[in-house]
Structure 1
Amino acid sequence: MRHARYSTAILLPRMLNDVPLTRDLVFVGGGHAHALVLRRWGMKPLAGARLTLINPGPTAPYTGMLPGHIAGHYSRDTLEIDLVRLARFAGARLILSHATAIDRTQKLIHVEGRRPVAYDVASIDVGITARMDIEGFDAHAVGAKPLDVYAARWRDFLTQVQTGQKQPHIAVIGGGVAGCELAMAMAHAVQTNGAAPQITVIEAGPKISGMGPAARAKLMRAMKELGITCQFNATVQRIEADAVILKGADPVAAALCVGAAGAFPHRWIGQTDLPQETGFVVVDPDLRVRGDADLFAVGDCAHMPFAPRPKAGVFAVRAAPVLYHNLRAVVSGRPTKPFHPQKSYLKLISLGGKSAMAEKWGFAPAAPLLWQWKDRIDRAFMAKLDKLPAMAVPKLPVVRAKGAEEDSNNIPLCGGCGAKVGGGVLRSALDLRPVHVRDDVITAPGDDAAILRQAGGGFQVISTDHLRAFIDDPVQMTRIAAVHALGDIWAMGAAPQTALSSIILPRMSPALQQRTLREISETAAEVFGQAGAAVVGGHTTMGAEMTIGFTVTGLRAAMPLTVSGAQDGDALLLTRPIGSGVILAAHMAGKVAADVVTEALSIMQQPQSIAAQALSQAHAMTDVTGFGLVGHVQAICTASGLQAQIRRDAVPVYAGARALSDSGIASSLLEANLADAPYTGLADPLLHDPQTAGGLLAALPRDAALHVQERLQAQGLCAAIIGELTKGSDPVRVI
């Protein structure tokens, strides 16, 4: 697992606001300008605006530190902007997918893998690509941009060189500043790892481009010292698996070929009706797309005819304050202001090792001190996006009821199952004894769903569940809430039948209500439809915050599974990792890495119908949700008159959850779970962590458990035998 760069800032939950949401502001791409705007927005949001960020991944690499990462000076984490934390800070939903088209008539952003996203105002900051239209490029080469793709490919290649699987032969197509800088970084990394690099920079022109004579001469000397050769006036005909074929010249050996010859626009933009200059979006001085009052473009993907500039990250950074002002202005109906990019800028070029060259006004000094200067500038930029400001804690009224101080010192209320009422409180408030008011109603204390006997034979089960939103995306929340509700049906060994929705939306305009409900209803229909159930209606209201829930029914010919049928000697099998509660708590506090959150959310959205079918003949089953793993194991033990032993090391845990738990982060429900589920043996808060859309927990004979485990794992699904049941009434024991 990668080590996260945790911020010291605590991001408190946004204060509930009576101002209704009325405008959708959509950011397409997580480029530098958008990242800086999101930071500013989090510090000073605009009431009534709902933000959305669309980006293919949960992080975005910082351009300035890429050569240092390639050279080995920076870890992968160091150069990645955490868009998950940034979006949370700004109050924006984050959609992890590629934008594929823009319909300006309907004002829709088309997104791969989901329905289009509506906007009132939108901004595009998707950068550029170095993907080249050369035969064999897609199969045998990688563009220097997008940066994250190239960086990942480089790490794999360097590992293969270290293990002797590949020769350190590298070709860089493009002899500009970027190509030369990356060539030197790769040469330094290969040498540092004990190999002798053979690197060739291939340039179509007669010399290194993009710099003056003094800087060019120093750069040529630096590359020569690293063993890098340059081939000028070269035309690439095609790229093969181990060589670049040139016109009228010998092939260039290349176990890795990197394209760095200029800036190329993303192809999907070229297929839109946006005003373009060679594929780049034409913008006016206020950064709005020419002829479109509600659409902006910024960064390398934009073309500024009013002030043409080279493609450089410095302009995106300088444009961010103007973009922030103008987005707020358009959303709120106020005047915009123009962007005035600087005419010249300082170039700081890494020379492979920890030395750099600076160029401006014809001067080109080079020294290790300049690399240290560049390092400080780059780290300061990343710190601005990593160490997000702590939000002010609202003060309690001077006159208040007794006990308010104690409650206000508690950690913020979690979403999902972390917001549930504790089991002890529920038992003390509710009489769980069966009430036989009808012969066709079968009740059992602690079961996941009520059981109804059908007149024509067989059984129907019914349950209800809802989740307080812990992410701002209605689509993701609906998927997780649907899978979570279906867990009760699957745990009874039943086939899902119907669902009724129960939706609370925050205050918003009718237009946003319609957009949001369409997203929720279409997603619910998809998830329940795949499970074999039909959404047959529901109820919707507006309230303080988004809550999504479903009442679900299922059918089973035989008596449904309950928690009371486990037998002496049964093994306990779990179908999903634990730790979602602590991850969501850390996400709320801004103390978890982006990939940890996104991996957990991805797993939580996955249906468990295959696992449920494989476990349909278990002796007893439940799903692990708000009361934690130990709490649900204890439910089986209590109902079945048995005791359990859990092997702590056998319990699957979400990536990152163990480190978060060990650091003291916990869900707001953890304390109640610990008090309610006594156990002996090894202490582990994760075993009591409240789960949302948690795994199925089944008791079945050991041989059957091993068979199911093998069957599910063969399909790439989680299945872990975590312990066993024996006669007795002692608390759950953890070893």
Structure 2
Amino acid sequence: MQTLPLTRDLVLIGGGHAHALVLRAWGMNPLPGARLTVINPGPSAPYTGMLPGYVAGHYTRTELEIDLVKLARFAGARLVLGRATGLDRARGLVEVEGRAPLAYDVASIDIGIHSEMPALPGFSENGIAAKPLERFAEGWSAHLDRLLAEPTLIDRGAVVIGGGVGGVELAMAMAHGAQAATGRVLPVTVVEAGTALPGVGRRARAALMRHLDRLGVQLIEGREVRRVEPDLVELADGTQVSTGFTTGAAGARPHGWLARTGLTLTDGFVTVDRTLRSSDPSIYAAGDCAHLSHAPRPKAGVYAVRAARVLDRNLRAALGDGKTRAYRPQRSYLKLISLGEKSAVAEKAGFSAEGPRLWRWKDRIDRRFMDRLSDLQPMAAPALPRHRAAGLAEEVAGGKPMCGGCGAKVGRGALAKALAGLPPITRDDIVTGAGDDSAILRIGDTRLALTTDQLRGFTEDWGLMARIAAVHAMGDVWAMGGAPQAALATLTLPRQTTEMQQRMLAEITAEANAVFEAEGAAIAGGHTALGSELSIGFTVTGLSPRIPITLSGAEPGDALILTRPLGSGTILAAEMALEARGTWVAAALEHMARPQGDAARILASANAMTDVTGFGLAGHLSGMLDASQVGARLQLTSIPLMEGALELSRAGTRSTLYPSNREIAQAMILPTDDRAELLFDPQTAGGLLAAIPPDEADACLAALREAGHPAARIGTILDGPPLIEVN
């Protein structure tokens, strides 16, 4: 199929509201030739408007979150989970913590603000800023758990530093939420250095003060905070306020790294013109991190939402499509301030009203906004041609796209039949053959492991994809007790300009080499090509100083230990269909990207070992049992699963390779249990499965867990035919 080449890189720094809406617009109308990347510290971004409702207990954490993984998939964008730390404008690079920098032709910044107070003694150690919202939401949830576990802790109260609208709204939400969760009153104190609720009209202020009093929230005005201790906040006049939870909502502060960009700033915020362009013509900014030089406005999410359409239009223009437009923000906006319970105060230009109807109105506005970003449907598969060969309709039944990673492998049955036709190996310097995880070559007195693996891209983050492919390729060497030595890369890149090829290759090789170097290996060369989609593979050699661990050594009584949970195939299949939560996907990718060389060394006493990849746990265990001529009993509830995998499996999500893997069930004794279906789920960079002598199993398991691997003892090797019994 003819594919259009890529010619420009657009990078969105931050997952703020404006960028979220740009992603949605891009998914509905992508710009051919442009490659879109979004960088954000986490897989989701809290929606500002619903935070007080979450704190008050009216919304769940899931309802609060904008799922950037799903949005990025819908937009066809690369999501890089990392924290931006700077710009190298001379080279057109975004610096990202913990990984190689990312190149851009056009960039946009929407990273919000923070309310950290590093100059306030003790706050960094004993307080938590209301912004960024992610950390505050996690901190408040953890504090509620502490209040439920230790009820007397509620008497210590809570302190909000900052008496603006945000601080007052948060204090009322905390008071209501704590009482709803625990049944007891949480004493909340708001401390404001000046006059509370600046910019709020007289009638609205009076209503808010009345509701503060109703909830028992104490307001202290005209006094600064001197220091923050674990259990108290001391004011400038020596007054000490007891607290078990201290948050800061005083003012909007810009992120410090912006000051190092060389961009023109206003009070630390990126100065932009009426097109939202900064002093650098290739960099735009929107949301709270931007200062509108042509129309200064207070920091409020409503302006970011209204700016999104103009930002989208102007980013496209900067990439070569059309003309720019001016952003003209409204002069004022309607404030809907939650009152803790399901009631709100409305205020605009002196007009004020309050009541439950206003909260319901605000709730509808907020949910409508979130629905726009979550009610996303994948592109429909193209209709089959009227004239087609027999069997085509059955092969593409359901219009389901082919999975990436190991979900795109050839099935176990087809592969076994193909390999069965190979002639026997007659060379005496090839120790093992096609039945084992890798070939072992004898070169003089040295044993050399040789293996190769290639993955079809399943994430648009090719740097992360390179790391996972490197881990995946080394799995066979680790499984045989070898130490990785060298790797040759086999890369197929999408069609793109020469400059973009260089960018992509530089990032892939840097990220992959970091993984190989950490394991004592190095990339020694390789082969590249252009094609319709990304694939990354590595041929790896490894040194085997001892007799290699093969599939054939398992003995009755051995304990079966698995080093990481199952479910990656199901989660990746669901992610492609926009059915997986971003947090599940991020956690699965984190599992896959973690090297297992240290785990292999801990399991060096194994009688047999393999890595669990495309054929699933059942398929790879079956290979071990066939080679060893033994059976196995698995304890289903002991097998660890990735978060979300069981829920998706119960909903019927299956990877492309699942049906082929499921054929092995005829040689198994299976219970009727939804968990059992994940035994056939293809894994990418899956765990090591080891048959360990029973007297060493506990020590190995303890060492694996101490090293950070979520390992589990999942079963036992049995004397008997190669049958898998699952209990």
Q: Same fold (TM over 0.5)?
A: yes
The yes-or-no answer on 1:66 pairing with 2:51 is yes
Structure 1 residue ranges without an equivalent (≥5): 1-15
State the partner residue of 2:231: 242
The yes-or-no answer on 1:108 pairing with 2:93 is yes
State the partner residue of 1:649: 637
Q: Which amino acid aligns with 1:731?
A: L
The answer to whether the 8 Å contact 2:156/2:231 transfers is no
State the partner residue of 2:337: 349
Match of residue 153, structure 1, among 114, 117, 139? 139
Secondary structure class of the residue paired with 1:155: helix
* In structure 2, distance between residues paired with 1:255 and 1:405: 63
Structure 2 residue ranges without an equivalent (≥5): none
Secondary structure class of the residue paired with 1:252: strand
Distance 1:198 1:392, change over 3 A: same
Match of residue 360, structure 2, among 358, 372, 380? 372
* In structure 2, distance between residues paired with 1:514 and 1:542: 12
Instruction: Give the C-alpha shift of residue 676 in structure 1.
Output: 3.7
Q: Which amino acid aligns with 2:92?
A: K
Match of residue 471, structure 1, among 459, 463, 468? 459
State the partner residue of 1:164: 151
Q: What's the TM-score, normalizing by structure 1?
A: 0.95
The yes-or-no answer on 1:284 pairing with 2:270 is no
Match of residue 16, structure 2, among 22, 25, 31? 31
State the partner residue of 2:208: 219
Instruction: Give the C-alpha shift of residue 730 in structure 1.
Output: 4.9
Distance 1:557 1:176, change over 3 A: closer
The yes-or-no answer on 1:703 pairing with 2:695 is yes
* In structure 1, distance between residues paired with 2:324 and 2:518: 48
The answer to whether the 8 Å contact 2:55/2:137 transfers is yes
Q: Which amino acid aligns with 1:611?
A: A
Instruction: Give the C-alpha shift of residue 644 in structure 1.
Output: 1.5
Q: Which amino acid aligns with 1:115?
A: A
Distance 1:201 1:153, change over 3 A: same
* In structure 2, distance between residues paired with 1:555 and 1:300: 54
The answer to whether the 8 Å contact 2:114/2:130 transfers is yes
Q: Mean alpha-carbon deviation: is it higher for 77-86 or for 195-204?
A: 195-204
State the partner residue of 1:689: 681
Secondary structure class of the residue paired with 2:586: helix
* In structure 2, distance between residues paired with 1:34 and 1:23: 18
* In structure 2, distance between residues paired with 1:722 and 1:199: 49
Mapping for residues 413-428 of structure 1, pairs under 5 Å: 413-428=402-417
Secondary structure class of the residue paired with 1:309: coil
Distance 1:639 1:595, change over 3 A: same
State the partner residue of 1:4: none
Secondary structure class of the residue paired with 1:493: coil
* In structure 1, distance between residues paired with 2:693 and 2:253: 60
Secondary structure class of the residue paired with 1:187: helix
Secondary structure class of the residue paired with 1:114: coil
Alignment deviations for residues 68-111 of structure 1 (CA, whole Å, 9 cap, x no partner):
01111111111100111111111111111111111222111111
The yes-or-no answer on 1:121 pairing with 2:121 is no
State the partner residue of 2:82: 97
* In structure 2, distance between residues paired with 1:204 and 1:246: 10
Of all paired residues, the percent bearing the same amino acid is: 53
State the partner residue of 2:442: 453
Q: Which amino acid aligns with 2:719?
A: K
Match of residue 138, structure 1, among 124, 138, 158? 124
The answer to whether the 8 Å contact 1:424/1:676 transfers is no
The answer to whether the 8 Å contact 2:233/2:243 transfers is yes
Q: Which amino acid aligns with 2:677?
A: P
Instruction: Give the C-alpha shift of residue 315 in structure 1.
Output: 0.4
Instruction: Give the C-alpha shift of residue 641 in structure 1.
Output: 1.2
The yes-or-no answer on 1:325 pairing with 2:310 is no
Match of residue 262, structure 1, among 251, 254, 266? 251
* RMSD across aligned positions (CA): 1.5
Secondary structure class of the residue paired with 1:429: helix
Q: Which amino acid aligns with 1:209?
A: P
Distance 1:564 1:510, change over 3 A: same
Alignment deviations for residues 122-165 of structure 1 (CA, whole Å, 9 cap, x no partner):
00000011112322221122211111111111122222223236
Q: Mean alpha-carbon deviation: is it higher for 500-509 or for 635-644?
A: 635-644
Secondary structure class of the residue paired with 1:471: coil
The answer to whether the 8 Å contact 1:60/1:82 transfers is yes
* In structure 1, distance between residues paired with 2:610 and 2:289: 51
Instruction: Give the C-alpha shift of residue 490 in structure 1.
Output: 0.7
State the partner residue of 1:8: none
* In structure 2, distance between residues paired with 1:248 and 1:708: 59
Match of residue 665, structure 1, among 653, 658, 681? 653
Alignment deviations for residues 12-45 of structure 1 (CA, whole Å, 9 cap, x no partner):
xxxx761111111000000000001001101110
The yes-or-no answer on 1:627 pairing with 2:615 is yes
The answer to whether the 8 Å contact 1:93/1:472 transfers is yes
The answer to whether the 8 Å contact 1:572/1:700 transfers is yes
State the partner residue of 1:430: 419
Instruction: Give the C-alpha shift of residue 445 in structure 1.
Output: 4.3
Alignment deviations for residues 161-207 of structure 1 (CA, whole Å, 9 cap, x no partner):
23236234222222111111111111112222222222222222234
The yes-or-no answer on 1:253 pairing with 2:245 is no
Q: Which amino acid aligns with 1:143?
A: A
* In structure 2, distance between residues paired with 1:565 and 1:270: 61
* In structure 2, distance between residues paired with 1:203 and 1:436: 81
Alignment deviations for residues 349-395 of structure 1 (CA, whole Å, 9 cap, x no partner):
10110001111231111010111111111111111111113423311
The answer to whether the 8 Å contact 2:630/2:723 transfers is no
Match of residue 381, structure 2, among 384, 387, 393? 393
Match of residue 597, structure 2, among 601, 606, 609? 609
The answer to whether the 8 Å contact 2:625/2:722 transfers is no
State the partner residue of 1:337: 325
* In structure 1, distance between residues paired with 2:232 and 2:262: 39
Instruction: Give the C-alpha shift of residue 732 in structure 1.
Output: 1.3
State the partner residue of 2:63: 78
Secondary structure class of the residue paired with 1:40: helix
The yes-or-no answer on 1:183 pairing with 2:171 is yes
Q: Which amino acid aligns with 2:107?
A: A
The answer to whether the 8 Å contact 1:631/1:677 transfers is no
Alignment deviations for residues 390-421 of structure 1 (CA, whole Å, 9 cap, x no partner):
42331111111111211221432110000001
Q: Which amino acid aligns with 1:164?
A: P
Secondary structure class of the residue paired with 1:380: helix
The answer to whether the 8 Å contact 2:670/2:725 transfers is yes
Secondary structure class of the residue paired with 2:24: helix
Q: Which amino acid aligns with 2:570?
A: V
State the partner residue of 1:13: none
Instruction: Give the C-alpha shift of residue 563 in structure 1.
Output: 0.8
Q: Which amino acid aligns with 1:514?
A: Q
Q: Which amino acid aligns with 1:320?
A: A
State the partner residue of 1:9: none
The yes-or-no answer on 1:716 pairing with 2:708 is yes
Q: Which amino acid aligns with 1:86?
A: L
Q: Which amino acid aligns with 1:448?
A: D
Mapping for residues 555-566 of structure 1, pairs under 5 Å: 555-566=543-554
Instruction: Give the C-alpha shift of residue 716 in structure 1.
Output: 2.4
State the partner residue of 1:19: 4
Secondary structure class of the residue paired with 1:327: helix
* In structure 2, distance between residues paired with 1:466 and 1:206: 63
The answer to whether the 8 Å contact 1:168/1:195 transfers is no
Q: Mean alpha-carbon deviation: is it higher for 594-603 or for 396-405?
A: 396-405
Q: Which amino acid aligns with 2:465?
A: M
Match of residue 573, structure 1, among 540, 561, 570? 561
Secondary structure class of the residue paired with 1:442: coil
The yes-or-no answer on 1:307 pairing with 2:295 is yes
Match of residue 528, structure 1, among 493, 510, 516? 516
The answer to whether the 8 Å contact 1:576/1:652 transfers is yes
Distance 1:463 1:206, change over 3 A: closer
Instruction: Give the C-alpha shift of residue 446 in structure 1.
Output: 1.8
State the partner residue of 1:734: 726
